[in-house]
């Protein structure tokens, strides 16, 4: 992670000095939280993350990693709330989704234990942490500190540049695809459909509305479904638009197949969205 940050930082150093200083600061603090957590100083690490969140409130990864520590402490309710916040930042985040599921299952187990006097010992819930990508961050504190006219202009310019030069965030694209597959597996139609862009073209002369209706029926039909993705290859088409090819393994109680697929994803403020989907 440090390596990536260093790389990103050095790339940007040429064009945007101040933004990189912020990234550097974020990286330092993240490193600090990580060290504290590894040393078993969970309370300090949690405090560090909470501080980070107040400065970078829209970064789901920080919420997620905070939740990892809270769950480790057995504070499932706090972990749950934190993960729900992460979901609100980016509802298609596969890791956050998985972590939240794990927390819910464990909380449910606790309630069942009380209901039926099961005598189940509480288990430690090991959640998955994710790398925090500092580039996506839009620090709020620095901007608000610089209220001079010149400062605002300067910041606008530099964020324009940041956008232009932003390297593809392959992890977030992969997570979107996995999130899409896991929504499908959970037969959660609304969540599944939310992965598609508003101007998604279903093809086969289908209107989007008719397509959504059809998907709704088909997704719900089997008793269970498992969709897994393998060999994901991502290629940039243009800025904010990529093409991904992968092998999709579909299993259900009634039907199994393996398909090679290509999807096009469009970046939007809510995350990556599917623009086109083709079986190869």
Partner 1 sequence: MKYFSLFFFCLYGLFHFNTVSAENTGLLASLGNSPTYTSQNILALKDSLKNLDVRLADYPDDYEASLLKSLVYFRVGEFQQAITELDGLIARVPDFHLAHLIRGDILLARVKKLNGLGNNSILNSLSHKQSTLLKSLLQESQMRLGRIKQDDLTSHYPRQILNLGESVEHALIVEKSTHRLYAYKRQDNGQPPKLLRDFYVSTGKKEGNKQLKGDLRTPEGVYFVTSWIPEEKLPDKYGVGAFPVNYPNELDQRQGKTGYGIWLHGTPSKFYSRPPLDSEGCVVLTNEDFNTLKQEITPGVTPIVIVEKVDWLDRTNWIAERDLLLGKLEQWRMDWESLDTSRYLDHYAQNFWSKGHNYKSWSKRKKRLASNKSYQKIQLSDISLLAYSENGNANDVVVARFQQDYQSSNFSSEMKKRLYLQRQSQQWKIMYEGR
Q: Which residues bind partner 1 (CB under 8 A)?
A: 84, 87-88, 91, 97, 100-101, 104-105, 107-112, 114-118, 186-191, 194, 216
- Give dist(CA 201, CA 214) in Å, integer: 14
- Give dist(CA 279, CA 11) in Å, integer: 37
- Specify the residue, 13 or 107, whose C-beta has the smaller distance to partner 1: 107
Burial, 172: exposed, middle or buried (Cβ in 10 Å; 0-12, 13-18, 19+)? Answer: buried
Residue 67: name the closest of 57, 53, 80, 55 by CA. Answer: 80
3-state secondary structure 159-194: HHHHHHHCCCCHHHHHHHHHHHHHHHHCCCHHHHHC
> Which pair of structure tokens corresponds to residue 211?
């397509």
* Helices 76-89/60-72 angle, 10° precision: 170
């Amino acid at each position: 992670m440090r390596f990536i940050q260093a790389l990103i930082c050095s790339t940007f150093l040429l064009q945007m000095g101040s933004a990189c200083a912020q990234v550097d600061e974020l990286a330092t603090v993240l490193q600090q939280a990580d060290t504290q957590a590894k040393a078993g100083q969970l309370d300090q690490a949690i405090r560090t993350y909470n501080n980070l969140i107040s400065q970078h409130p829209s970064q789901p990864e920080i919420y997620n990693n905070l939740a990892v520590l809270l769950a480790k402490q057995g504070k499932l309710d706090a972990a749950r709330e934190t993960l729900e916040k992460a979901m609100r930042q980016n509802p298609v985040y596969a890791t956050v989704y998985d972590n939240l599921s794990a927390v819910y299952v464990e909380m449910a187990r606790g309630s069942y234990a009380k209901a039926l006097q099961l005598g189940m010992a509480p288990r430690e819930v090991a959640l998955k942490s994710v790398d925090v990508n500092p580039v996506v961050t839009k620090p709020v504190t620095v901007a608000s500190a610089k209220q001079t006219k010149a400062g605002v202009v300067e910041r606008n310019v530099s964020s324009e540049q940041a956008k232009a030069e932003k390297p593809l965030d392959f992890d977030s694209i992969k997570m979107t695809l996995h999130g899409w597959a896991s929504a499908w597996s959970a037969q959660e139609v609304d969540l599944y459909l939310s992965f598609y862009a508003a101007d998604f073209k279903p093809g086969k002369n289908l209107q989007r509305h008719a397509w959504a209706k059809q998907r709704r029926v088909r997704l719900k039909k089997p008793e269970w479904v498992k969709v897994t993705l393998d060999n994901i290859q991502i290629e940039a088409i243009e800025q904010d638009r990529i093409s991904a090819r992968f092998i999709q393994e579909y299993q259900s109680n009634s039907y199994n197949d393996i398909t090679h697929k290509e999807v096009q994803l469009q970046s939007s403020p809510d995350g990556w969205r599917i623009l086109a989907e083709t079986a190869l």
